[in-house]
Structure 1
Amino acid sequence: MCLGIPGEIVEILKDRPDLAKVDVSGVRRAINIGLLEGESLVPGDWILIHVGFALSKIDEAEAKSAMDFLTSIGQAYEDEMAALRESMIEEG
């Protein structure tokens, strides 16, 4: 099963505007935001992430609802978090 996980943008990387540092349940990763070109993204915004790529911009209420659902399904969520931890996008 493939899941999208909500994450909060912490920083847009100045030298790589296609990457943002994102916090997902305490895990911080550089996430590719290139698919959201044209969206206005700033720190504090929420995005839906799958294996290192931002799929869409969502609001905080959607993010909370998604996290509540994801934590309720157990192993599939844990598998997706493991995939996120392993997705290392170079920042420089």
Structure 2
Amino acid sequence: MCLAVPALVTALLPDDRATVSLGGVTSTCSLELVEDVAVGDYVIVHVGYALSRLDAEEAERTLALLAEVAEAEAAA
């Protein structure tokens, strides 16, 4: 199963790359597929590539749903 998740862009790097944060975990991803990304934007990340930008409200709703799923799995 593949999953693309919203991540917060925390730094822009050379060569169309960015540092992103998801739940306190930081990683780098490619921005080659997305234009006009800025620090503070949310992007959908899949296998190391940002696929699209996402507004903050949508990202926060999605992250809240993922947290609920994780809690439900932990309780089971």
User: If the length of structure 2 is used for normalisation, what is the TM-score?
Assistant: 0.82
Structure number with higher strand proportion: 2
1:38-57 equivalences under 5 Å are 39-57=35-53
Aligned-pair distance for 1:11?
Answer: 0.9
Letter in 1 for 2:18: A
Aligned-pair distance for 1:20?
Answer: 0.4
Quick check: which has more Rg, 1 or 2?
A: 2
Segments of structure 1 that go 5 or more residues without pairing to the other structure are 75-92
**Structure 1 counterpart of 2:61:** 65
Runs of 4+ in 1 over 6 A off after TM superposition: none
Segments of structure 2 that go 5 or more residues without pairing to the other structure are 71-76
CA distance in 2, matches of 1:59, 1:30: 20
What is the percent sequence identity of the aligned residues? 34
CA-based RMSD: 1.5
Letter in 1 for 2:20: V
CA distance in 2, matches of 1:68, 1:33: 24
**Structure ranking higher on relative contact order (CA contacts 8 Å, 6+ apart):** 1
| Alignment size in residue pairs | 71
CA distance in 2, matches of 1:48, 1:24: 11
Q: What's the secondary structure of 1:43's corresponding residue?
A: coil
